[in-house]
């Protein structure tokens, strides 16, 4: 694991400290989780803006395409797969 040192604004440090207390986690864990959530948010935002394809988004989030579609649905982003495509995929799955 790499190590990074950075300076935080007082406001940001207070937020990390507060979240650390709420979730009963150390500040380093909270900071890593916030970075991970921020990465997910920015990648999803780029996807919504049409700057990333679904497969690229999945790769950047290190998820399968189906896991990515599930994640998108959690954020209220409609699936890019049409119902007919879903049924075709289901039929292929049944044949195996």
Quote the percentage of the chain above a pLDDT of 70. Answer: 81
pLDDT score recorded for residue 7: 94
Distance CA 30, CA 49 (A): 28
Quote the percentage of the chain above a pLDDT of 90. Answer: 60
Say how many C-beta atoms besides its own lie within 10 A of residue 43's C-beta: 19
Please check the confidence at residue 87 and state whether its pLDDT lies above 90. no
pLDDT score recorded for residue 61: 97
Number of domains in the chain: 1
Tokens representing 32 are 């890593």
**pLDDT band of 1, cuts 50, 70, 90:** confident
Please check the confidence at residue 84 and state whether its pLDDT lies above 70. no
Residue 9 lies in a domain: no
Residue 5 lies in a domain: no
Residue 37 lies in a domain: yes
pLDDT per residue over 24-65, tens digit each?
Answer: 999 999 999 999 999 999 999 999 998 999 899 999 999 998
Residue 64 lies in a domain: yes
Please check the confidence at residue 21 and state whether its pLDDT lies above 70. yes
Residue 83 lies in a domain: yes
Residue 16: which residues within 8 A CB-CB, separation 6 or more?
Answer: 8, 27, 30, 31, 34
């Amino acid at each position: 694991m790499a190590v990074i040192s950075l300076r935080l604004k007082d406001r940001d440090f207070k937020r990390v400290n507060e979240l650390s207390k709420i979730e009963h986690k150390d500040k380093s864990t909270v900071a890593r989780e916030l970075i991970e959530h921020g990465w997910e948010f920015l990648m999803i935002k780029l996807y919504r803006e049409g700057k990333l394809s679904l497969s690229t988004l999945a790769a950047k989030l290190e998820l399968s395409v189906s896991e990515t579609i599930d994640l998108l649905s959690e954020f209220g982003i409609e699936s890019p797969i049409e119902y007919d495509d879903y049924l075709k995929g289901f039929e292929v799955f049944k044949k195996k």
